[in-house]
Amino acid sequence: MDTNHASFDMKEKKTIIFDLDGTLVDIEPIFVKIFNTLAKKFGYAPIHPEEIPTLKKLRLKSLIWRRLGFRILLFPIILKRGREEYHKLIPEVKLFADMKETVFALHSQSFIIGIVSSSDQNTITALMKKFAIPIDFIYHCSIFNKAKTLKRVLKERQLTPSETLYIGDEVRDIEACNKCDMDIISVSWGLNSEEALRDAGAKIIVASPSLLLEILTRNR
């Protein structure tokens, strides 16, 4: 994806909101571990390594429907258990390489930095404390309605969509930002593949934190 011509002017941007899982932290091995642990309890098929490239092309909702089938009625319980297991595994969670330096560099240039994520608020806070990353605000959102929370952030923090930018790794991030008229930069190192992001209408896809930082600080 061509990253040389952004569809927006970074000079306007004052606030950068990050997704957490798959954007700041490498959730994939943790996700598979939790998914497969719960598969034994709830009776759905586990994820095998050879399936991952194909699954990364799917929207999260499609993955859940495909895997759970009639067990979709149990999804709220599975999600709750999954979040509990995720919190227990905080010691195993790792930041993507260079992401800490990227966030620090952005913060030093007077960007307001936030996180909007469907992970549990306590987990997000614990991870930011663990990695000592400068975050100005954290919001938890519904797994399938991130747009509602993004709109709440804009209202409560008195932001306009034009001065706010989201950084995320999933198709649902793109869809949420579209509903809020908010610009987004998609990253290709997370849960959805570059192909899936492109098919969802991503205008900018970056392949490394260094490229992300370059775009965000260009002409400032």
Largest Cα–Cα distance of the chain, in whole Å? 53
pLDDT at 33: 96
pLDDT at 11: 84
State pLDDT tens for residues 118-169.
999 999 999 999 999 999 999 999 999 999 999 999 999 999 999 999 999 9
